[in-house]
């Protein structure tokens, strides 16, 4: 008996608590369509999934790929591996992948094959469940099938988060945390390095979620508080930078134009309900990423959140750590010299971020002063000596004037 793939899903918003029908997404002959529900358009609390690309109107939107604001709910590399290890049948298309996500991803959207109700989610695992989860994650990394129903319920909760690194969601002290694990092929202590980088960013005054390192057995795990949840309930709709910019084909010249931090700044000017502090925050993040060698700063590692109280704002910063194997070019454009990782390039367009040359240089000075102390941060978060030496040298390779000194003593 053949199986006909599901080609329609009903989209619900859980931002106000009880799920409200928001719209319908469908796939027919390779074309996606989306329309807002009439009840949603009449709701005084209604918000747009993406004001720039899917405005809140009666129009039926069409695209040859899944709309970015919905695609942000999809599992990425790791999440797909979790789904494949815990489900007997592989989703046949993007609509079926949306339905597997069940609203467990970032933000306040959930999906159903029914127009009237959604399937309830399991409660996320607790901190005490981590030991069992670690064993399951080893199985997933080894591409082994998981058959234990209870274990499947525990591990699938975190399946809808992006990235290639093993991760899950756990609940502790009334909050949900993203639990990030080391990989067996890591070439340095990425857990300690990310915690140290988040600490540096926090000391710079950047908007950093709460975080801590938890040790299970002898394995360190980075716990990062979800910025879209409070006591287990959604508090914000999420839109990634990639979805907001919606650039389909990328040419090298785009890195000096829209496919860049400048492009994100343009989105802030159009979207943010308080653009000036968001623009300075974004600029400081860019300079910080240059300083610590975080070149994996692609557009999915930036985002925007919407809440009824704050409107649209730049989302808190996440996924920060040095990348020793690639220090020359960033994933998106820095300045007039495209992706080139240099202080000079970071200083080339301060006006785009609403800053004067003097203000931009002040930001650079503050960032480099913190980055110069990186060794103490890495030590605090347990990074081994050899890794500490390498990472600290990366973080201190620029002076305030933007020159590259020799290796710093460790």
Q: pLDDT, tens digit, for every residue of 144-203?
A: 777 777 777 677 665 556 566 778 888 998 899 999 988 877 899 999 999 999 999 999
- Give the closest residue to 107 by CA, choosing from 318, 315, 317: 315
Q: Are strands 229-230 and 311-314 parallel, antiparallel or unpaired?
A: unpaired
- Supply the pLDDT for residue 370: 97
- Give the closest residue to 299 by CA, choosing from 333, 275, 341, 338: 333
Residue 178 lies in a domain: no
pLDDT one-digit tens code per residue, 67-126: 999 999 988 777 677 777 666 778 889 999 899 887 778 899 999 999 988 877 767 888
**Mean pLDDT across 338-352:** 97
CATH code for position 326? 1.10.1070.20
Q: Which of 70-84, 188-202, 281-295, 336-350 has the lowest mean pLDDT?
A: 70-84
In the structure encoding, which two tokens stand for residue 329, read together?
């070019």
Residue 230 lies in a domain: no
- Supply the pLDDT for residue 261: 98
Number of domains forming the structure of the chain: 2
Strand positions, DSSP E, 181-260: 211-216, 219-225, 229-230, 233-234, 237-240
| Count of other CB atoms within 10 angstroms of residue 151 | 18
In this structure, are 248 and 383 located in the same domain?
yes
Q: How far, in Å, CA of 291 to CA of 206, rounded?
A: 15
Check pLDDT > 60 for residue 403: no
> What are the angstrom distances between the C-alpha of 290 and each of 111, 183, 247, 398?
38, 25, 23, 9
Rg (CA), the chain: 22
State the residue range of the domain holding 53: 8-70+93-112
Which residue would you say has higher pLDDT here, 128 or 387? 387
Q: How far, in Å, CA of 228 to CA of 358, rounded?
A: 35
**Mean pLDDT across 126-145:** 78
pLDDT one-digit tens code per residue, 207-243: 999 999 999 878 899 999 999 988 778 999 999 999 9
In this structure, are 384 and 250 located in the same domain?
yes
Instruction: Give the helix/strand (H/E) hosting 283.
Output: helix 275-292
SS3 state of residue 203: helix
- Domain closes at, from 81, 112, 143: 112
In this structure, are 389 and 242 located in the same domain?
yes
Which residue matches tokens 């460790």? 410
Which residue matches tokens 């910025």? 227
Check pLDDT > 90 for residue 132: no
Q: Return the C-alpha torsion angle 88, 91, 95, 99, nearest 10.
A: 20
């Amino acid at each position: 008996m053949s199986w006909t793939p599901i080609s329609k899903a009903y989209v619900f918003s859980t931002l106000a608590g009880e799920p409200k029908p928001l719209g319908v997404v469908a796939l027919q002959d390779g074309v996606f369509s989306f329309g807002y529900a009439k009840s949603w358009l009449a709701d005084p609390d209604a918000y747009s999934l993406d004001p720039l690309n899917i405005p809140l109107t009666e129009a039926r939107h069409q695209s040859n790929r899944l709309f970015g604001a919905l695609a942000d709910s999809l599992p990425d590399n790791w999440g797909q591996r979790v789904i494949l290890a815990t489900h007997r049948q592989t989703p046949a298309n993007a609509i079926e992948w949306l339905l597997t996500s069940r609203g467990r991803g970032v933000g306040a959207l959930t999906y159903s094959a029914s127009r009237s109700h959604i399937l309830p989610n399991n409660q996320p695992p607790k901190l005490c469940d981590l030991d069992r989860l670690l064993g399951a994650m080893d199985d997933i990394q080894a591409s082994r099938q998981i058959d234990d129903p209870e274990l499947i319920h525990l591990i699938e909760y975190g399946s809808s988060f992006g990235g290639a690194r093993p991760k899950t969601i756990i609940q502790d002290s009334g909050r949900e945390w993203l639990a990030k694990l080391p990989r067996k092929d890591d070439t340095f202590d990425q857990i300690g390095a990310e915690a140290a980088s988040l600490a540096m960013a926090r000391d710079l005054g950047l908007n950093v979620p709460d975080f801590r390192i938890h040790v299970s057995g002898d394995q360190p795990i980075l716990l990062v508080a979800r910025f879209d949840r409070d006591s287990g309930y959604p508090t914000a709709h999420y839109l990634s930078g990639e979805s907001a910019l919606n650039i389909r084909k990328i040419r090298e010249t785009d890195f000096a134009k829209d496919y860049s931090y400048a492009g994100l700044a343009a989105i802030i000017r159009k979207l943010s309900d308080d653009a000036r502090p968001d623009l300075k925050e974004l600029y400081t993040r860019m300079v910080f990423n240059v300083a610590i060698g975080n070149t994996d700063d692609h557009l999915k590692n930036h985002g925007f959140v919407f809440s009824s109280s704050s409107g649209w704002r730049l989302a808190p910063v996440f996924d920060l750590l040095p990348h020793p194997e690639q220090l020359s070019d960033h994933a998106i454009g820095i300045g007039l010299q495209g992706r080139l990782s240099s202080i000079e390039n970071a200083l080339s367009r301060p006006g785009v971020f609403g800053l004067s040359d003097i203000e931009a240089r002040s930001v650079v000075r503050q960032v480099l002063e913190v980055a110069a102390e990186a060794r103490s941060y890495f030590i605090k978060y347990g990074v081994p000596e050899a890794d500490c030496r390498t990472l600290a040298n990366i973080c201190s390779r620029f002076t305030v004037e933007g020159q590259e000194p020799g290796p710093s003593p460790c």
